Amino acid sequence: MSVVHLPLPTTLARPAGARVGSDPAPGNHAAPGSRGQLVDRFGRVHRDLRISLTDRCSLRCTYCMPEQGVEWLAKSSILTTDEIVRVAGVLASLGIVEVRLTGGEPLLRRDIVDVVRRVAAIEGVAGPLEVSMTTNGLKLPELAEPLREAGLARVNVSIDTLRRGRFAELTRRDRLDDVLRGIRAARRAGFSPLKLNAVPMRGVNDDEIVDLVQFAVDNGAQMRFIEQMPLDPGHTWSRTEMVDAGEILDKLTQRFTLTPIGERGSSPSQDYLVDGGPTTVGLIASVTVPFCGACDRVRLTADGQIRNCLFAREESDLLPLLRGAEGQAPADDDAISDLLRSSIAGKRAGHGIDDPGFLQPQRPMSAIGG
């Protein structure tokens, strides 16, 4: 066993007195001739689109959704596949090159294979859009192959624990075996890299951090640990109780040799080789080492709202443009482009979690999309 204590890369640390996101990272600034792109007032060029396909989920993870009394979005407000494809096409013309499909649980959407096929066929400025997905994996045994054939490039499966009883308590569903089958199905379908996501929580699953990485190593997957963020339905999140990236690294380096892999740029994950590779582990330290300064994401919710930040408290409503308002015809693509640019132009420097006046978004994570 080799023990190497690795601090979080100092290049990601926020200078004393600097605002989060006030200094966009090199390589993500607007370039001459970028007038048609989605560029905010800090010069960040947006290339990554997150599309939430539904707010519904087949699990009830305690940090994401309440057990009962969930107020679902009205079915009439959910974007149709034609509307999703249209918005994605407009965004592709504005420089978006990558799309991640999220939820809720995206595989609950009955036409999910068609959604993937049509979005993956959209031509962007650098060729067809690259389409990936985050899922709980429950329906992958039946859908992994069709999704791969439809053009899905990558998949992330959420798995916070390897213990059946703990899984049932954490998700309020006894479905661990189904998730494991889904992971195996994703491997058989040829998804590579296959990534696994976990949210370490103190006193809940933080004793499994090493076990989860070993599971990933044994199964040809890449583990990603995500700091718990203030997006829980009960608004009980506490930074002092959060398991931060530094603590995760300390636990991992007692078992594995970790080697940092370059700069993360606009990626949310700082990645490390595990024992020389090829397996990697990634840390998404959105709270303690935020990547706001290089953020290139724009989010489309299942009910047609554009969000320029995961923690935004304001949204821009696309539905009136897509469907027409008060008897008017639907708007043209130029009007949609104008709304998209306006939303991105209003993006703040950072998520503001450390600000004294920070307020958690009204929507829980399940309604925003991962």
pLDDT of 215 reads 98
pLDDT of 356 reads 53
Question: DSSP letters along 259-295, please?
Answer: EE-S--TT-S-EEEEETTSS-EEEEE-TTTS--GGG-
Token digits for 93? 């013309």
pLDDT of 322 reads 97
Q: Is the pLDDT of residue 183 over 50?
A: yes
Average pLDDT of span 214-220: 96
Q: Could you tell me which of 104, 111, 92 has the C-alpha nearest to residue 58?
A: 104
How far is the CA of 229 from the CAs of 133, 284, 299, in angstroms? 20, 11, 17
Question: DSSP letters along 89-154, please?
Answer: HHHHHTT--EEEEESS-GGGSTTHHHHHHHHHT-EEBTEEPEEEEEE-STTHHHHHHHHHHHT--E
Cβ count within 10 A of residue 169: 14
Q: Is the pLDDT of residue 24 over 80?
A: no
How far is the CA of 113 from the CAs of 91, 109, 116, 179, 195, in angstroms? 21, 9, 5, 19, 20
Percent of the chain with pLDDT over 90: 66
Cβ count within 10 A of residue 48: 18
pLDDT of 11 reads 39
In DSSP terms, 45 is beta-bridged to 39
What is d(CA 71, CA 61) in angstroms, rounded to the nearest whole number?
16
What is d(CA 292, CA 284) in angstroms, rounded to the nearest whole number?
12
What is d(CA 273, CA 222) in angstroms, rounded to the nearest whole number?
10
> What's the predicted TM-score (pTM) here?
0.86
Q: Could you tell me which of 180, 181, 202 has the C-alpha nearest to residue 62?
A: 202
Average pLDDT of span 274-280: 94
Confidence of residue 29 (pLDDT cuts 50, 70, 90): very low
How far is the CA of 248 from the CAs of 182, 237, 284, in angstroms? 26, 18, 11
Do residues 224 and 282 make contact, with C-beta atoms less than 8 angstroms apart? yes
Confidence of residue 18 (pLDDT cuts 50, 70, 90): very low
Confidence of residue 223 (pLDDT cuts 50, 70, 90): very high
Tens digits of residue pLDDT in 229-268: 766 555 565 677 889 999 999 999 999 999 999 776 667 8
Q: Is the pLDDT of residue 225 over 90?
A: yes
How far is the CA of 31 from the CAs of 21, 28, 46, 118, 340, in angstroms? 19, 9, 12, 30, 19
In DSSP terms, 156 is beta-bridged to 134, 195
Do residues 135 and 154 make contact, with C-beta atoms less than 8 angstroms apart? no
**Per-chain mean pLDDT for the chain:** 85
pLDDT of 19 reads 32
pLDDT of 252 reads 97
With tokens 């489309």, the residue in question is 300
Confidence of residue 23 (pLDDT cuts 50, 70, 90): very low
Tens digits of residue pLDDT in 143-162: 999 999 999 999 999 999 99
Give first-to-last CA distance, the chain, whole Å. Answer: 35
Confidence of residue 213 (pLDDT cuts 50, 70, 90): very high
pLDDT of 94 reads 97
Average pLDDT of span 70-87: 93
Token digits for 160? 């916070």
- For 225, the enclosing helix (H) or strand (E) is strand 222-226
pLDDT of 75 reads 92
Residue type, 167: F
Cβ count within 10 A of residue 276: 11
Range 267-273, long-range pairs (CB < 8 A, 24+ positions): 267/291, 269/224, 270/8, 270/9, 270/12, 270/245, 272/6
